[in-house]
Chains A and B, each alone.
Chain A
Amino acid sequence: MALWVDKYRPRELSKLDYHKNQAEQLKNLSQQGDFPHLMFYGPSGAGKKTRIMCLLRELYGTGVERLRNETMTFTTPSNRKIEIMTVSSNYHLEVNPSDAGIYDRVVVIDLIKQVAQTHQIDPSGQHDFKVIILSEVDELTKDAQHALRRTMEKYVATCRIILSVNSTSRVIPAIRSRCLGIRVSAPKVDEIVTILNNVCRRESLTVPEELARRIAEKSERNLRRAILMLEACKVQQYPFTAKQEIADLDWQMYLKETANQIILEQSPSRLEKVRERLYELLSQGIPPDIIFKGLVQDLVKNCDMSLKAKTLEFACLYEHRMQNGSKHIFHLEAFVAQFMNIYKKFMSETIMMDEF
């Protein structure tokens, strides 16, 4: 049994639920039979991948839906073997090169070379180029991105590259200028509510308007998360009630609790405890930048404006260092220690002021 997210994913451009204008434009693009490299950008759960697959289907027909998994092996210059999972059909190939960590450059170059150097045997039947989908390009190292721009130009005759990116800020300008950017903004709350209702109707369930709205608001405009939540709610309790509890993500609770502990006490021993909790989060595979963001959002709630500004200033500093460095825990902990410092100082100052 497929998850609802996959089951009700639109497969054709004409069936998309929102951004209809854009769907029309994509259709125009595919009808010309040829297009430049594309870059879809938008927050997660906005429907980038769905749009890419719809576009491919428009271009190549249903053949793109016959997918197969393959594991490709690459040899790095230092003779290490790395394996990468790819999903491919006869016409396209999808890969997440950032899985290879610091060896992503090898993957980008070799993979594209392999695909691009094989010409279609019979160019008359289909389009004479293949499509390579690279996801999470913003997570690639700068080195790999530079390699990518060269390969993009070189093999433009035999393949088109579609990039899927969360934020364009981390993509080097040279790549940005070589692609036609397509902005996929997150669906509005109302749109999510409509989609949730549709899903329920097709599952022949009834969902109270209020619950749907609560789920939509809780999902932070992330459609995938909203549908997953809906399904989770269904498992928990059906028939739905309007006041039904929506399960929170446990790591979010854990992070909130961590922030609380920092606010309650500022001491070396507490710092040690917080470190354990941070380690726990990291080892569960929560990306450090998300931990950072969550932590900051929770910490500043109890501060006044000048303290907020200071906290953010330090957060920026340490987060930037974290991106450049390799040991995430150091920088997370440095931030926590720094926050404890300024918070305590601030508190004692206000108490002093009160006493006088």
Chain B
Amino acid sequence: MQAFLKSDRPSLSAGTSLSSEDHTGQTAHRRKPPAPWVEKYRPRSINEIVEQKEVVSVLQKCIDGADLPNMLLYGPPGTGKTSIVLAAARQIFGDLYKERILELNASDERGIDVVRSKIKSFAQLTASSIRPDGKPCPPFKIIILDEADSMTHAAQAALRRTMEKESRSTRFCLVCNYVSRIIEPITSRCTKFRFKPLNEDKIIDRLQFICQRECVEMETNAYGRIVEISGGDLRRAITLLQSCQMLKKGGGKIMEDDLLEISGVVPQRYLVEFLSVCRSGNYSKLDEFVQDLSFEAYSIGQVLEQFNEFVLTHPDLSSDQKSVICDKLGECMFRLQEGGSEYLQIMDLGCTTILAFKK
């Protein structure tokens, strides 16, 4: 019934649309029990957040005083930015949590008109300082703008007056990867927190905890490998773990090779071979190698990314050679992302490398 009612009726204001979204969330939840582990093991209280000590201590003080500043959280993906805000909000509001939060991320429409209508109208609602059951509750709402760096500058500019005007009843919380893409007037209105990439041990601890809970068996080396692949991104690490588990179900331990296969990382031997083929200076060999690589369905973008790392740390190459190769690498990567042909780009890189060796 509920699903039928909520179906397509255009929502009259931000408030109603928010509550209808809650209903969909609940029905969805009831229907399909297995939740992604990333959601299942999202920290519930801010004390569970690992590594980010300063932020946690500041937030803890804020929560004790039942007030929050406008916040700007930035740092690499998967370090707990969104988690900390959600956890803090949960602690402040308790069960009123769903009504007091408007969460918009990059996948929602977030152009200038959304800022003008949806955000503004949500901001203008007043929040009561007591709960329905009579207990006190902080009199403000939180608007979380996830991935704020992908908002247009115009939309950001439209935000700034709203931020000030509604400061009585609304706190903004911007979450982004690159603080440099947020316009100056916004950053100056917020308290900034930087998030560090997670430490290897912390990730392994968390993974081990999850493995224990979910009864997953994993090779000891594989933990290190997950950390390596995920590069300090806890979300990616957990997703990877779950994907492995889904594919292996009952098929024994998770091995290192499974991880490589699922994450799409190109095995190291291909990089070594690419360089040695280039060193031999034989074009037709290079051609053959590249064809082979694409038949194996490895993504050339991924190859280039790993090759960059590989070249930089390679002991036998001179600085000159490295600079020539990396210069070309950047160019090829750019064109590839713009839709250039995989074959041509990597061949171009190969030729440059061959010439670099000949010099």
Contact = CB atoms under 8 A, between A and B. Distances in A.
B75 to A, nearest CB: 17
Interface of B: 3, 7-8, 24, 27-28, 31-32, 34, 36, 106-108, 236, 239, 243, 246-251, 261-262, 264, 281, 283, 287, 291, 294-302, 331-332, 335-345, 347-348, 351-352, 354-355, 358
Nearest 6 A/B pairs, CB to CB: A157-B28, A309-B351, A169-B301, A323-B339, A42-B297, A150-B107
Contacts of B351: 305, 308-309, 312-313
Identify whether the interface residues of A are mostly helix, strand, loop, or mixed: helix
Contact of A157 (B7, B32, B287, B295): B32
B139 to A, nearest CB: 32
Interface string A269-309: 00000000000000000000100110011001000011011
B299 A169 contact: yes
A35 B345 contact: no
A28 B250 contact: yes
B297 A46 contact: yes
B344 A293 contact: yes
A128 interface: yes
A128 B251 CA distance: 26
B248 A183 contact: no
Given A36-B243, A157-B32, A41 B344 contact: no
Given A28-B249, A149-B107, A186-B296, 11 more contacts: A34-B32, A43-B294, A123-B31, A157-B27, A168-B299, A177-B239, A315-B348, A316-B344, A319-B335, A319-B341, A323-B338
Given A149-B107, A316-B348, A319-B341, A309 B354 contact: yes
Interface residues of A, number: 56
A35 B245 CA distance: 12
10 contacts: A28-B248, A29-B246, A29-B249, A174-B106, A180-B246, A181-B264, A292-B341, A313-B348, A316-B335, A319-B341
A170 B264 CA distance: 15
Given A168-B264, A180-B262, A309-B355, A293 B341 contact: yes
Contacts of A70: none
A28 B251 contact: yes
A297 B295 CA distance: 17
B69 to A, nearest CB: 30
B338 A320 contact: yes
Contacts of A168: 264, 299, 301-302
Contacts of B28: 156-157
A83 interface: no
Contacts of B342: 167, 169
B249 A31 contact: yes
A221 interface: yes
A184 interface: yes
Given A28-B251, A167-B299, A316 B332 contact: yes
Nearest to A147: B107
A324 B348 contact: no
A245 interface: no
A320 B344 CA distance: 10
A90 interface: no
Given A28-B248, A34-B34, A167 B355 contact: no
Contacts of A234: none
A25 B248 contact: yes
A348 interface: no
B340 A323 contact: yes
Contact of B283 (A169, A308, A323): A308
A185 interface: yes
Interface in A14-61: 24-26, 28-29, 31-32, 34-36, 41-43, 46
Given A25-B248, A308-B283, A186 B297 contact: yes
A143 interface: no
| Most chain A CB within a 10 A radius of its CB, from B27, B299, B342 | B299
Nearest to A312: B348
Contacts of A181: 262, 264
Interface string A118-129: 010001000010
| Most chain A CB within a 10 A radius of its CB, from B8, B296, B351 | B351
| Most chain B CB within a 10 A radius of its CB, from A29, A150, A308 | A308
A129 B336 CA distance: 35
A28 B343 CA distance: 35
Nearest to A123: B31
Nearest to A153: B107
Contacts of A35: 246
B301 A319 contact: no
Contact of B300 (A29, A167, A183, A316): A167
Nearest to A148: B107
Contacts of B338: 320, 323-324
Interface string A144-155: 000001100110
B195 to A, nearest CB: 19
Contact of B246 (A32, A167, A183, A296): A32
A25 B244 CA distance: 10
Nearest to B29: A157
B283 to A, nearest CB: 6
Contact of B247 (A29, A153, A157, A220): A29
